[in-house]
Structure 1
Amino acid sequence: MVDMGSRGSACRIKKCAFDLLSMSDMSDDEDSWDLMGRDLRLKSTFLYCDFNQMISSAPNDQKKTLTDLANRLFYYIEELGHAVKIRSVPLTQNRYKDAAVVLQEVMATMP
């Protein structure tokens, strides 16, 4: 039963990664920018908490790998969030492509 927390975190990480990967279609109106920004902030909060749980309960040999993956993911999410904040479609698309690569890796890594 001790592993239930880690399995729940892994499941939420995969769900958040899937949700973020599915937001590739965006329009250039005021509501879409606001919705995308709020969704990024919400998902990154869940991801942060769940990655923290996963890293702290992971065996020592996996902690560095998970930490590096989480750091790269949060870097790209932050870059994407900045692009959304300044409402630049080309920059957002570029940052989204970068984040999508790491999100795919997260999906493949989670049990």
Structure 2
Amino acid sequence: MMDVEFKGSANRIKKCALDLLAIGDDLMDDDDSWDLVGRDLRLKSTFLYSDFSKMITSAPQDQKKGLTELANKLFCSIEELDEAVKIRSITLTHDRYNEAAGILQELMELMPSDK
């Protein structure tokens, strides 16, 4: 049963990561895009937090530390990106997005495959 929960959380994490990577196309300097990106960022990070918590709990002991470190790194980056979106700084938002995108790519590489 733990294996199914782990795989389900991993799949949802990958889906959220892909969705967050796609918001880079929405980073424009207009009121609608700021609001859309901010809401989407907060929604996806909520799902990520929940699934990372489940995944870390059900992970084998030797994987818990690495997953926890990656999760902390990701959520710190997402928080910084959210702050940049809130102040509506296009330059800072792009910088923070690029940092978050690198961590999301790292995350995608570490997630177990669907096989």
Q: TM-score range by the shorter chain?
A: over 0.9
For 2:23, what is the secondary structure of its paired residue?
coil
- 1:22 Cα deviation after fit: 1.0
2:81 is matched with: 80
Q: Which amino acid aligns with 1:39?
A: D
For 1:23, what is the secondary structure of its paired residue?
helix
Taking the aligned partners of 1:92 and 1:76, their CA distance within structure 2 comes to 11
Equivalent residues in 2 for 1:1-111 (5 A)? 1-25=1-25, 26-111=27-112
Taking the aligned partners of 2:68 and 2:75, their CA distance within structure 1 comes to 10
Unaligned runs of 5+ in 2: none
Taking the aligned partners of 2:40 and 2:87, their CA distance within structure 1 comes to 16
Identity rate, percent: 67
For 1:28, what is the secondary structure of its paired residue?
coil
TM-score normalised by the chain length of structure 2? 0.94
Taking the aligned partners of 1:24 and 1:30, their CA distance within structure 2 comes to 16
Runs of 4+ in 1 over 3 A off after TM superposition: none
CA contact (8 A) 2:2 2:58 kept: no
Q: Which amino acid aligns with 1:38?
A: R
**Superposition RMSD in Å:** 0.8
TM-score normalised by the chain length of structure 1? 0.97
CA contact (8 A) 2:24 2:97 kept: yes
Taking the aligned partners of 1:70 and 1:50, their CA distance within structure 2 comes to 10
Unaligned runs of 5+ in 1: none
